[in-house]
Amino acid sequence: MHSTPNGKRLLGVEERGDEDDVSVTRRHRVTSLPGQKALYTPVARGIQKYNGHSSQNSYRVNMSRGQTHAFFESPLTAFSARCADQALNNVLKKLAKEQPREHRRAANVERHANTLTMERDFSLALVQEWTNVTSFDWILLNDYIRADILLSTDPSNTKWLRVQLKTSNVCKDNPNAWAFNHVAGYDGMPVVCWATDIETGWIHDGSDLNFYSGAMKITHHGMESGPSKNERCSVGRKAFDINGLATKLHSLSMEGRWEFVSEEYSRWEFKPKATNQFIEMVTIEIYRSKHPGCQFPTALGSTVDLVGPSPTNRRLQFKHACVLQRQTGFYANLRANAGRLDCKTTNKPYESSDFDELVVMRIDWHMKVVHVWEIPMSKLIEERLVNHNGVRGKTTLYVHDTPDITGQITSNNKSAWTIACYKGALNIPVFSTDAIKSSRSHFERIDEYVNVEDH
């Protein structure tokens, strides 16, 4: 609860619906209207002075742990409390970092839950239930695409419903609430929120969640709870089990609540900041155009980007190579996601079992060609680039070809072996209408880059 120094609740800091039903809590900043004096004035970093009528404990301090804020009578006591809090926080961080990484990662999973595992398990359960209810197909999409799954709405698989999934466990500070992060930005599709610990879910219209700048907190008291006063969408008010979610999604889709799209359109519908993933999709599409029969993997969050054609069915991992200043050759990262640790996303080398072949591509937008390197896993193991039998791999790779493309290499260059893996250059094909329409902003940025470089 946010309150003033005299204990009164700040109007506008927190808005709640009825606690007897399903309710959504929305938090946002307190701002002053034009011509009004700001409620708090910054005094020092992490310290603000309250400008209200209360004359007691008017200095607010941002605390690192426990309470969100603490109030003090004078700036000196506020500053002392701030310094003591920061010193304690630094000591605790140092002690935490001295723990083995495995222990820190386990504590992080226990506190925040393994969201990727929860989302993978829920997505598989939901799509299987969708098939049981409708007899229609489904598709699990790659990371950084706006939708997580596609649900077919017709036997010919031409009309797909995009669905965004959010999972959560019960909040530590409220045993009757679940917080769902990053729920904004999903216009035109349903957002399904799933409480893993009680196997209960809610359906929201993505267009009605754009006013959430942070987490959306849902509380409820039973499977048949009624709507709360501040829920703005016509769905999302009733809690469902897994079968109820699939049934309700089907009925809402048949009512025409959301637009149907093609599979091609959905696979190219990247989030605005997912530029690297868009470029990787370009390389995958170029490879598919030259190797018919390749299929996208069915596993969510997989280390495999594409499955090669039969009979080999090689598991392919794609990396885009780029130029680094004062470096010979093209640089490609070999980082795999290792989860969050100390509130930061961490990476690790790939395992030798993650895929069968690495495909590195360097796109030359000016010449409209792409250079291709195909490196089998056996070679990556030989060059100690992946984790294998106790040998720790690396997270970077440089690829080379002829001097006119990647520069002249020296005799002691440790990545000269990649010359033998170079497969030549491919022309960049014309992309489909759905791809260009779905990723229009990304393609426009590429055109702007080419035009600027040419002039």
Query: In terms of pLDDT, which residue wins out, 231 or 71?
Result: 71
pLDDT of residue 69: 81
**Taking the mean position of all CA atoms in its chain, how far away is CA 212?**
17
Q: Which of 56-65, 216-225, 421-430, 444-453 has the lowest mean pLDDT?
A: 216-225
Angle at 9 between CA 7 and CA 13, to 5 degrees: 140
Full-prediction pTM beyond 0.75?
A: no
Strand partners, 427: 369
In angstroms, rounded to a whole number, what is the distance separating the alpha carbons of residues 384 and 403? 25
The beta-strand segments (E) located in 33-80 are 40-44, 47-50, 59-62, 69-72
In angstroms, rounded to a whole number, what is the distance separating the alpha carbons of residues 378 and 356? 8
In angstroms, rounded to a whole number, what is the distance separating the alpha carbons of residues 308 and 297? 10
In the sheet that holds 190-195, the strands lie side by side as 138-140, 149-152, 160-168, 190-195, 200-205
**And the tokens for 83?**
């310094």
Cβ–Cβ under 8 Å, residues 330 and 322: yes
Q: What is the pLDDT of residues 289-316, one digit of tens each?
A: 888 889 888 776 678 899 998 888 899 9
Q: Which long-range contacts (CB under 8 A, 24 or more apart) does 170-173 make?
A: 170/195, 170/197, 170/198, 171/217, 172/111
Q: Average of pLDDT values for 33-47? A: 73
Query: In terms of pLDDT, which residue wins out, 221 or 275?
Result: 275
The residue whose two tokens read 């999409």 is 141
The residue count of the chain comes to: 455
Cβ–Cβ under 8 Å, residues 347 and 385: no
Cβ–Cβ under 8 Å, residues 316 and 306: yes
pLDDT of residue 11: 31
Cβ–Cβ under 8 Å, residues 408 and 328: yes
In 3D space, the residue among 5, 26, 3, 4 whose CA is nearest the CA of residue 14 turns out to be: 26
In 3D space, the residue among 453, 374, 454, 364 whose CA is nearest the CA of residue 404 turns out to be: 364
What are the boundaries of each domain within the chain? 28-111, 112-263, 268-454
Query: In terms of pLDDT, which residue wins out, 77 or 340?
Result: 77
What's at 20, amino acid-wise? D
In angstroms, rounded to a whole number, what is the distance separating the alpha carbons of residues 123 and 117? 10
Q: What is the pLDDT of residues 199-231, one digit of tens each?
A: 889 898 888 888 777 678 887 643 334 444 434
Q: Does 3.40.1350.140 match the CATH number of domain 268-454?
A: yes
The DSSP letter of residue 150 is: E
Specify the CATH class of 112-263 in words.
Answer: alpha beta
Q: Please say if the pLDDT value at position 348 is more than 90.
A: no
**And the tokens for 264?**
């091609």
Q: Average of pLDDT values for 140-165? A: 90
